[in-house]
Amino acid sequence: MKTDRLLAIVIHLLGHETVSAAKLAERFEVSKRTIMRDIDQIAMAGIPIKSQCGINGGYSIMEGYKLDGRLINAEEQAFIITALSGFLSSYDDKRYYAVLEKFTSILPGSKNRHIFLDFGASGEINIIQEKLTVLDKAILAKKTVRISYVNALGEASSRIVEPVALNYRWYAWYLLAYCQTKRDYRIFKLARIGELESTETKFTKQHGEPAALLEQAFQGGGRKLTGVTLLCKAEARVQICEYLGGNIIETRENGDFIMRVRAQEDERTWFAMLLSFGDKITVQEPEELKTRLAETAGSILSLYKQQ
């Protein structure tokens, strides 16, 4: 509905400094002309819209303007509580529990939840939480940390980094930091950080907006994706779809199917997953992966034959 779009545009502008008509049109899947008409209607409703011309121009809402909090209904309040509760299952911090308690007490919608999230992992509270605490404090204090790190290829290094942000994705915690050795931003998986020591040394530079730096680092950090085509047995369909989560591009008469998966070249988890399915999965391409699987299987077989 148009009214919903107008409200969504206002909320979007409140969360961003300046947004072009083209970006808004793309975001809400309408034409630029429609966005311009929407902006005019929003301004006529009394919301202080600012328009800026030029290359970096666009629309924004005057600083200090706030929406009535009653616009968040009970269902949306329940979503907020659900998201915050799920986050806390993987990040044990008293500050955020205090926030959760406040929201739960003042939002009536918190008692109407029917979706529950748990992103916790075995051993995470004891190991990862200690690292999160150290890094969180370093980020807030803008102080460097000294880490020992082993990358996905097994290469070890020691570095001084300036921690910028913590990110939970792909069921694991990651650190975005400015590496003083590489003089660039890098992504470090917390599970691969060995020694972690905070220092009293301040950052060497002012870092930009964390969200933008984070996405830039993930996209340009050399995390190459490779396409894998698999022939899968029908009897293992549920398990294969659950653990590999690819796209089924063909289903045969006997129920066997062909799946296409995009996997990170430098990660071992998906390779181990292929091995675990044994003869239920046959790699069709790429050839290098078929060779690697055959060699690994041969090495395992040889190991047990010697016993």
pLDDT value of position 71: 61
User: Could you tell me where in the chain the CATH 1.10.10.10 domains are found?
Assistant: 2-69
**225-302, what's its fold?**
Alpha-Beta Plaits (3.30.70)
For domain 2-69, the question of CATH label 3.40.350.10 is answered with no
Rounded CA separation 13/268 (Å) = 41
Q: Scan for tokens 């698999």, then name that residue.
A: 230
Fold classified for 128-220: SH3 type barrels. (2.30.30)
pLDDT for res 282: 95
Q: What is the pLDDT of residue 127?
A: 81
pLDDT of residue 221: 57
Q: What pLDDT is stored for residue 29 in this prediction?
A: 86
pLDDT under 50: residue ranges of the chain: 122-123
CA distances (Å), origin 2, targets 28, 30, 191, 207: 11, 11, 47, 39
- At residue 59, φ and ψ (nearest 5 deg) are -115, 150
Res 130: pLDDT: 87
Instruction: Please tell me the predicted confidence (pLDDT) of residue 12.
Output: 84
Is the N-terminal amide bond of 210 cis, ω within 30° of 0?
A: no
